[in-house]
């Protein structure tokens, strides 16, 4: 049997996943701080081959129950090209506020040039701070 697609990879790997301690939006459906610029997930010149973004994986931290949008894109800070948008409905689990893990895959991988900076940003329906733990991109090289 032959394999027609490449394996999925993730970045960052292992315990090095990005914790986005606070994306502050301040108003409903306003993208997180710095004028809506994304937070760096992959630094420029880190992944030195062209890749295909396939999805994201993350866990909410101390976020509120709300509707969320997370975008992923590439480019320099303030000039990102936003490639993916993920709508999320978040509800805490149990009385202690434990958060669910989320993994989203796109139906068609999206091309990102070699050596690109990859970033993410978020907005929500409440305007409250957004806390993300263990954020990773899923890709094929």
The tens digit of pLDDT for each residue in 32-58 reads 654 567 888 999 999 999 999 999 998
| Average pLDDT for 69-89 | 91
Nearest to 49 by CA among 6, 101, 19, 1: 6
Nearest-Å Rg of the Cα atoms of the chain is 15
Residue 79 exposed, middle or buried by CB count within 10 Å (0-12, 13-18, 19+): exposed
pTM: 0.85
9-140 belongs to CATH 2.60.120: yes
Residue 88 exposed, middle or buried by CB count within 10 Å (0-12, 13-18, 19+): middle
């Amino acid at each position: 049997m032959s394999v027609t697609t490449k394996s999925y990879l993730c970045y960052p790997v292992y315990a090095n996943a990005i914790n986005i301690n606070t994306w502050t939006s301040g108003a409903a459906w306003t993208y997180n701080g710095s004028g809506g610029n994304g937070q760096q997930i992959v630094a420029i010149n880190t992944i030195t081959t062209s890749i295909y973004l396939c999805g994201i994986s993350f866990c909410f931290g101390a976020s509120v129950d709300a509707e969320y949008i997370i975008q992923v894109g590439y480019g320099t800070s303030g000039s990102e090209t936003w490639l993916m948008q993920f709508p999320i409905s978040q509800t805490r689990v149990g009385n202690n506020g434990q958060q669910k893990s989320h993994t989203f895959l796109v139906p068609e991988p999206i091309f990102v040039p070699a050596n690109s900076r990859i970033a993410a940003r978020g907005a929500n329906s409440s305007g409250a701070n957004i806390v993300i733990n263990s954020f990773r991109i899923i890709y094929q090289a």
